[in-house]
Structure 1
Amino acid sequence: MLLTLNLSAARQRATVAALAVLHIAIIIASNYLVQLPMTLFGLHTTWGAFSFPLVYVATDLTARVLGAGPARRVVRWVMLPALVLSYVISVLFHDGAFAGWTALGGFDVFVFRIALGSFIAYAVGQMLDIFVFSRLRATLAGGRHWWLAPAASSVLGNLVDSVLFFSIAFYASSDPFMAAHWVEIAMVDYVVKLVMAVLGILPLYGLLLAALQRWLARGAAAQPVAA
């Protein structure tokens, strides 16, 4: 049986802050990696497709262990810092090479569109993920199919995220390659995320859930509830 943990206010704030830092790190890495195209089975995609699904693991773990409210709080804390830091890091390391501090002196529209697209897609996709996850978890309470809630929320959340992000970031982009291939890249990106969710993210979710609950339970009063 899984546990919902009743943490002290200070411990919950610390946990939410740690999860927010994790989200920001994943978003920054993904916004950098999305600038690096690759070919997968003859189709165009980017390296960012392999890193961003991890943020859904963090969100679903937060919603399951602490509840939907703290999960939404993480998203609110993350949005603006992720926007600013993603822009700064992507400008400094544009196309995989350090451009020098002077690069921050100008305004890079291409990178800003990536950061803005990430900002909007993250906010909408994560809130949808939390809503679907929480509703399904309540509906399936007490059942064995613990994986249905994170699977369904990731499928829908990633779909919305991919559509919003790629259309905002790369439609009529100043980068000829991304402008020509963004629809294909978005479709492949979504398929890669789904494959990762099935083959890697769900097993990782289960392992991290057990480890996180053990760690948090050491300093908290635990109250058993249905999964």
Structure 2
Amino acid sequence: MTSPSVPQSRTSFHLALLVAFHILVIIASNYLVQLPIKLFGFHSTWGAFSFPFIFLATDLTVRLIGKAEARRVILRAMVPALIVSYVVSVMFHEGRFNGLAALGEFNTFVFRIAFASFAAYVLGQLLDVRVFDRMRRGYVQWWVAPAASAVLGQALDTLAFFGIAFWRSSNPFMAAHWGEIAAVDYAIKLAVSLLLFVPMYGVALNAIVRAMKRRDAVPAAA
């Protein structure tokens, strides 16, 4: 599957949109990871269903704009995401709206989650970029690169997040179950990525390529 590159004049605009999208997904995931669910008898969180969106966006960025620009998105998003994630997570701690007054006291539990998300995001995304870029150059099949980057990138992301956030946590439930939750969380994210987001990657890339070819054909026809 071949794809034209994004015009240089539009690159800055696309990067700004991607940074905003990454920050939005991180904020949502940090909130949703505080909401536990049970699937087939195993403990997990709703955050498992939201974070794979970032990997989809990163893979499309590498394919269409390049790995250097994808890394630039990560570097621009990580600090704002850390700050905003902490603010939102404190205000909506444990799924309840606590108001602006909650920000008056530093919440070490929530900050640990926000910092874990920060570290996991940086490590997982940088590995995703590296694996995706390497695999897409070595394999003709379009699905190999997004599948391989999802397997490895999300494994590192999940281990880093849950290990940093909940190992010996002040939350008894998370301290006791974080290993189980991390394993189930990874299984869910991997299943969602391979069954939904890898096909979505193919559909989105084809749609973008067709749109860009039509755009390039207009001046030539004129």
Aligned to 1:85: 84
Is 1:160 matched up with 2:175?
Answer: no
RMSD: 1.5
Q: Give identity over the alignment, percent.
A: 54
Aligned to 2:7: 7
Aligned to 2:205: 209
Question: What SS does the aligned partner of 2:37 have?
Answer: strand
Q: For 2:74 and 2:115, locate their aligned partners in 1 and report how far apart those are by CA, in whole Å.
A: 15
1:219 is displaced (CA, Å) by: 5.9
Question: What SS does the aligned partner of 2:23 have?
Answer: helix
1:204 is displaced (CA, Å) by: 1.1
Q: For 1:5 and 1:217, locate their aligned partners in 2 and report how far apart those are by CA, in whole Å.
A: 10
Task: Write the letter of the residue equivalent to 2:5.
Answer: L
**CA spacing shift, 1:3–1:38, aligned 2, 3 Å:** same
TM-score normalised over the length of structure 1: 0.91
Check the 8 A contact 1:65/1:213 in 2, yes or no: no
Check the 8 A contact 2:4/2:212 in 1, yes or no: no
Check the 8 A contact 1:128/1:157 in 2, yes or no: yes
1:211 is displaced (CA, Å) by: 2.7
Aligned to 1:67: 66
More helix by share: 2
Is 1:172 matched up with 2:171?
Answer: no
TM-score normalised over the length of structure 2: 0.93
Task: Write the letter of the residue equivalent to 1:60.
Answer: D
1:198 is displaced (CA, Å) by: 1.8
Ranges in structure 2 where 5+ consecutive residues have no aligned partner: 218-222
Aligned to 1:22: 21
Check the 8 A contact 1:170/1:179 in 2, yes or no: yes
Provide Cα deviations, 1:104-137, integer angstroms capped at 9, x if missing partner: 1111111101110010111011000000000111
Aligned to 1:113: 112
Alignment of 1:39-58 (within 5 A): 39-58=38-57
Alignment of 1:88-167 (within 5 A): 88-140=87-139, 143=140, 145-167=141-163
Q: For 2:63 and 2:18, locate their aligned partners in 1 and report how far apart those are by CA, in whole Å.
A: 13
1:54 is displaced (CA, Å) by: 1.0
Alignment of 1:182-197 (within 5 A): 182-197=178-193
1:45 is displaced (CA, Å) by: 0.3
1:207 is displaced (CA, Å) by: 1.6
1:213 is displaced (CA, Å) by: 3.3
Is 1:38 matched up with 2:37?
Answer: yes
Q: For 1:70 and 1:122, locate their aligned partners in 2 and report how far apart those are by CA, in whole Å.
A: 16
Task: Write the letter of the residue equivalent to 1:5.
Answer: S
Provide Cα deviations, 1:15-47, integer angstroms capped at 9, x if missing partner: 011011111111110010000001000000000
Greater relative contact order structure (CA < 8 Å, 6+ sep) = 1
Ranges in structure 1 where 5+ consecutive residues have no aligned partner: 222-227
Task: Write the letter of the residue equivalent to 2:2.
Answer: L
- Equivalenced residues, count: 217
Check the 8 A contact 1:5/1:220 in 2, yes or no: no
Aligned to 1:225: none
Question: What SS does the aligned partner of 1:191 have?
Answer: helix
Q: For 1:109 and 1:53, locate their aligned partners in 2 and report how far apart those are by CA, in whole Å.
A: 26
